[in-house]
Amino acid sequence: MRSEELLARLVALDSSSRAGNRPIADFICNYVDGPGVRIIRNPAPQGDKLNLLIARGPRRDDRAGLLLSGHMDTVPFDEPDWDSDPLGLTRRDDRYVGRGVCDMKGFLALAVHRFGELNPAALRRPLVLLLTYDEELGTLGARHFVETWGGEEPLPRAAVIGEPTSFGVVRMHKGHLRLRVELLGRPGHSAYPMTGINAIEIAARVVDRLGELKQCLTTELTADSPLFNPVPYTTLNLGTISGGVALNVIPARCQLGLGIRLLPGTTGAEMAERVRQAVELGIGDAAPAAAGGYRVEVIGESPAMSTTDAAPIHRALCRRLGQSESRAVAYASDAGWLRRLDLDCVLCGPGSIEAAHRANEWLPVADFDRAERLVADLVDEWCGAETAPAG
């Protein structure tokens, strides 16, 4: 089928993160399967989702070839102000509209389409597709793949992750560390405050200390910080707070939810320890009887990503797209985990991140067409591919 028809089929399959992704994974496998195609399913622990590794072309121990990667999941489509069916591809003016067209079924359709039309005999180096689950829930699929990958198929070093960058070539992004801080007091009747320890009051002191840490982070710049302008530092967001059960009960627990966007070079473990120290300082300011009543828990981590400016795939894409300077973004992606497989990862894809995660998500038709040519040229350059003859 034509690439636009394939995009329509992918959009019609509900692969939102709250659903399983086996229908879209099975469809893609059936679409590309054929002589010489190697398909490896990497199931999630819960069983209803999976990553896919799909390869074609000669196995090469020198890690030549090209890896194209994207996530099969989308965010949900519950926004009330959709003007059309979110699971129906609609062409409106010069845009495709539908859930996932931008993030990132547009790129997915083009990668799968190009893979399916290849002439296997013309491939001198392998083309590999790595398609993941639950990127939108915190790069869970990419993490699972990295932690369970046994090396069954040699992975090309050059990796393009087709996130919507408006064709900017991105070689760095921040990480996203998600923490839960639980502060423990002691319940009691509010008429007798001496009988309890108020966990929310402890939290107020801890929040002050976290604010000091947040301010400190704004001064901790690195050599790469200018690439992240206008926010060239690690950011800390106190995103949620909850505690207490009733107005006449002294609250025994209070929970804080933190999201921290890490610059490359800072590990999640290092930052979690700094948060723990800030919590201890806050508790130390409270009543002595409350000291020690806390837990700091990592509930999710998407590592930062950094690929050297000299990586051949970065140089090749920049040259092809006329980009003269390195670029970085503040959001995380699967590339943070995939980089740990010694891949040269870059983000580059059609559409703008500003069009994603909203009602009437769109992808310019011109971007889709341009990306189709780009994917074909990259595969030709890196894999020595030719299109299968018609008929």
- Comparing C-alpha atoms, which of 302, 344, 337 is closest to residue 149? 337
Q: Is 73 a catalytic residue?
A: yes
pLDDT digits (tens, 9 = 90+) for 370-388: 999 999 999 999 998 655 4
- Comparing C-alpha atoms, which of 276, 229, 238 is closest to residue 258? 238
**Dihedral angle at the C-alpha atoms of 28, 110, 160, 357, nearest 10 degrees?**
-90
The domains of the chain, with CATH numbers, are: 3-172+305-383 (3.40.630.10), 175-302 (3.30.70.360)
Q: In sequence order, what are the residues at sequence separation of 6 or more whose Cβ sits closer than 8 angstroms to the Cβ of residue 5?
A: none
Cα dihedral sign, 219-270-169-28: negative
- Residue of 73, 136, 163, 334 marked catalytic: 73
- Residue of 14, 135, 163, 361 marked catalytic: 135
Instruction: Quickly list H helices, the chain.
Output: 3-12, 22-32, 106-116, 140-148, 199-217, 268-284, 312-321, 335-338, 365-383
pLDDT digits (tens, 9 = 90+) for 139-185: 999 999 999 999 999 999 999 999 999 999 999 999 999 999 999 99
DSSP annotation of 118: B
Q: The tokens of 165 are what?
A: 């960058």
pLDDT digits (tens, 9 = 90+) for 48-96: 899 999 999 999 889 999 999 999 999 999 999 999 999 999 999 999 9
Where residue 285 falls among pLDDT bands split at 50, 70, 90? low
